[in-house]
Amino acid sequence: MRLGKEGGAALISGLLLTAAFPKISMPILAWFALVPLLVALRERSAGDAFKTGFIAGLVHYLTLLYWVVFTMRVYGYLPWWQSVSLLFLLAAYLALYPGIFALAVVRTCRNPIHLIWLAPFFWVALEYVRTFLLTGFPWGLVGYSQFNRLHIIQISDMFGVYGVSFLVVLVNTAIYVLLLAAAGKPWRGVTVSRQQAFKTTAFALALITLTIVYGRYRIAAMDAAMDKAAKTRVALIQGNIDQARKWDPAFQISTTKKYVDLTLSAVDRQPDLVVWPETATPFYFEASPKLTQLVTDAIRKAGVYLLVGSPSVQAVGDQAAYYNSAYLVAPDGSIAGRYDKVHLVPFGEYVPLKQLLSFVGKMVAQVGDFSPGKKGHTLAWGPDRPKLGVQICFEIIFPDLCRSLVKNGAGLLVNLTNDAWFDRSSAAEQHFSMAAFRAIENRRSLVRCANTGISGVVDPVGRVVRRTELFSDAVVVKAVPALTEQALYTRMGDFLPQIGLIIMGILMLLPSGKGVIGIKRGIDRKVGRRR
């Protein structure tokens, strides 16, 4: 298919969307990034609309996820052509969602006013499906682009990040409807009156105003709650271990000693809990007695609890089961609990479809395929301390996983990660920005400990209280509030995108061309016959 005028507009939408995210970080662009795509869809057929949306998505995800090439090349040991091919395959899969969005809009929104009612629901429904289909990969949902707009994103405690996506897409459609009216151009043959455009604009402005008012109210309420809440003093240890040396047996002792020394340097600041990042110990905790003792001796000396990321292994019948784990070590050196990662990274911790993809190795090649742990498992460490809700690496981008931890009593969220895979690309910034939403959605403090950065502390309103730089040794000690209130989102979950999915499913199952107008006409005919 030739790119053409419509393809060019789709390309612009894709680039604008990417620019709204870190590292370019121009979140205001997200509020009109979809307008060029909507312009391109004005008179397109359903099939062409899908292609146009697909182009927008392909451009967006190729430019947003470019770092996949580096990661697969350097740590997956794939040649350049295979690394680039995997990026294109991933981007093409993700581009299906904007393609389906464009198809649904053209097929069901026969009147331009319907755009503002339906397009936001369609978009968040597809974002929701992306969290679980084919194991799920909800990286870079549109709402995440607003992570540092505190007054806007407070609605996440009701609707999750999907609420922010909904609002952003709704504003995009309102701008487009206003432009249609100003230019006097029809949508699918239907012209927008100036009165309709005014009402649409007023509605969008009213929603933004209500969102900001709610944001101010919730920030004030949460600040008051945080002032009264019990505090837990947490020390984050960023070891900054070179990924190329991390699993080299020659550096096992020196790596472990570095973490020990950084931990002991923080003892005089009296932390209640010390946190090491994902797989901080380059050995199997418990299964490597001498190296494990090196850690437990230091913890006895420090007299604190330690949460440490480590691979673990246990016998299951005649075979060994491997886990990407986080151990809670008590001040006496005993094991107080263990969390096993639930959502594993394809090609990072296991290879899906092994028979078809036998040429691809895992990036964590030192062990067999990892096994998943139990969803919602929290770690208790004393009657007066908040339960720990641990998420390892990219688990933090799955809202429902975090919600399950808080529903199970977690009072403090802890994200252990190793973003050394990403080097200095925008991926580390994107990953950190997504983690911040879990704090707001569940009204919990979140502490994040990364091997090479970004480590940091996010409070229950999403403020980044402390953060480290990439590729630096760092020790962060911070007292964080432990709230007990359960937010609406924690209790109710993803009802907004689920409603959107139902609406989209019903409308898409109708005969082609009916859409909302078809439903209204059908109702009118039935009412007329009864009269």
Mind telling me the catalytic residues?
278, 341, 393
Cβ-based neighbours of 1, under 8 Å, separated by 6 or more: 7, 51
Asked if 329 contacts 305 with a C-beta cutoff of 8 angstroms, the reply is yes
Give the sign of the dihedral formed by CA 18, CA 21, CA 25, CA 27. positive
Strand partners, 275: 236, 307
- 198-206 CB contacts, 8 Å cutoff, 24+ apart: 200/113, 200/116, 200/174, 201/174, 201/177, 203/116, 203/174, 204/116, 204/170, 204/171, 204/174
Residue 35 CA to residue 33 CA, distance in Å, equals: 6
Number of other CB atoms surrounding residue 43 within 10 Å: 14
Cβ-based neighbours of 289, under 8 Å, separated by 6 or more: none
Radius of gyration of the chain (CA): 25
Asked if 54 contacts 94 with a C-beta cutoff of 8 angstroms, the reply is no
In the three-class reduction of DSSP (H, G, I as helix; E, B as strand; rest coil), residue 329 is classed as strand
**C-alpha closest to that of 285 among 299, 301, 271:** 299
Asked if 341 contacts 372 with a C-beta cutoff of 8 angstroms, the reply is yes
Relative orientation angle of helices 289-302 and 252-266, to the nearest 10 degrees: 10
Residue 21 CA to residue 36 CA, distance in Å, equals: 18
Token pair 């005014």: residue: 198
Cβ-based neighbours of 216, under 8 Å, separated by 6 or more: 151
- Name the token pair of 128: 């929701």
φ/ψ of 480, rounded to 5, equals -120, 140
- Name the token pair of 150: 């505190």
Q: If you ran DSSP here, which 8-state letter would residue 269 be given?
A: G
Residue 230 C-beta-side C-alpha neighbours within 13 Å: 12
DSSP string, 274-315: EE--TT-SSS-TTTSHHHHHHHHHHHHHHTSEEEEEEEEEEE
